[in-house]
Amino acid sequence: MDMNPSSRIYIAGHRGMVGSAILRQLQQEGYTNIITRRSSELDLRNQQAVADFFAAEKPEYVFLAAAKVGGIHANNVYRADFLYENLMIEANVIHQSYVHEVKKLMFLGSSCIYPKMAPQPLKEEYLLTGPLESTNEPYAIAKIAGIKLCESYRLQYGCNFISVMPTNLYGPNDNYDLNNSHVLPALIRKFHEAKEEGKPYVEVWGSGSPKREFLHADDLAEACIYLMHNYNELELVNIGTGEDLSIKELAETIRDIVGFEGELRWDSSKPDGTPRKLMDVSKLHSHGWKHKIGLREGITRVYQEVKERGFEKAPVA
């Protein structure tokens, strides 16, 4: 039985950027039986609470998009929180999906699972072949554990649990807090506020030389639903565009879209993070899916959204 419009589908983390995109895409495609819980209603770190939820709701399909997330600064400072909370969330949801015979589960990881100095582009088989980037090692370790949980439940119990690794994402419901957001939303906010305040320059962390790949959350959601229908294998799948650009090029693109006329200043005392993180998406392409939203188009859409509603997160149903 494949996932159909009346299937009971649980989205863990439906208020985050990824989960809310999956929710919107499922609704667009006519799925009517979607189960969600806010974190105030269900603490996924609590084993008993998750067990009770699965027993009551009996989801047939699970998208595990819930996670504690942040940028370089947050990952580095809250190391114990990132490791503990993410381990608990994924262990509870994956185990209860096994206990309650969920037909299929998708676990969403992160491109930071790959070794810091792995060859580029990043192929799925590079997992666990070298040391991780130290600043986000706890988060990466937690995500690797989630992948291995899915693999192990498949091997031991025959569960159809799959893992996907999105590249850097942006889109509606992104985090624009300058202390713990990722680079793209942080730059949008910095340039917008500098333009509004008439500032002569914007300061950007690092050297501008690292290269990054960016995927719109709506493309990710479409890919996730596509793979829920079409992918049933042990190995993880990268989800990305297969295209990257330098942080300097990204900053200049965002400056142009926002219409900021001042200069860019680089603070090279701040960390750059991994030199490059480009996904090899040949496996994804071979299974028949390719991204649709170009980066300039996507950033323009996102900027229009935040101009209309401000930088505080919009409430999600």
- Active-site option among 139, 153, 170, 231: 139
Q: Which pLDDT score, from 0 to 100, does residue 309 have? A: 86
How far apart CA 297 and CA 128 sit, in angstroms, is: 35
169 is in an annotated binding site: yes
Label the pairing between strands 211-212 and 245-246. Answer: antiparallel
How far apart CA 212 and CA 201 sit, in angstroms, is: 23
Which residues, at least 6 apart from 269, have a Cβ–Cβ distance to it below 8 Å? none
259 is in an annotated binding site: no
Partnered with residue 279 across adjacent β-strands are 122
81 is in an annotated binding site: no
How far apart CA 4 and CA 190 sit, in angstroms, is: 43
- Distance of CA 203 to CAs 181, 200, 275, Å? 15, 10, 20
212 is in an annotated binding site: yes
Q: Which pLDDT score, from 0 to 100, does residue 315 have? A: 42
Reading the chain (317 residues) residue by residue, the pLDDT tens digits are: 689 999 999 999 999 999 999 999 999 999 999 999 999 999 999 999 999 999 999 999 999 999 988 767 777 888 999 999 999 999 999 999 999 999 999 999 998 899 988 999 999 999 999 999 898 899 999 999 999 999 999 999 999 999 999 999 999 999 898 877 788 999 999 999 999 999 999 999 899 999 999 999 999 999 999 999 999 999 999 999 999 999 999 999 999 999 999 999 999 998 887 788 899 999 999 999 999 999 999 999 999 999 998 887 544 43
Q: Which pLDDT score, from 0 to 100, does residue 1 have? A: 60
205 is in an annotated binding site: yes
Q: Which pLDDT score, from 0 to 100, does residue 177 have? A: 84
CA 285 to chain centre: 19
Q: Which domains does the chain have, with CATH numbers?
A: 9-174+213-242+278-293 (3.40.50.720)
State yes or no: is 139 an active-site residue: yes
132 is in an annotated binding site: no
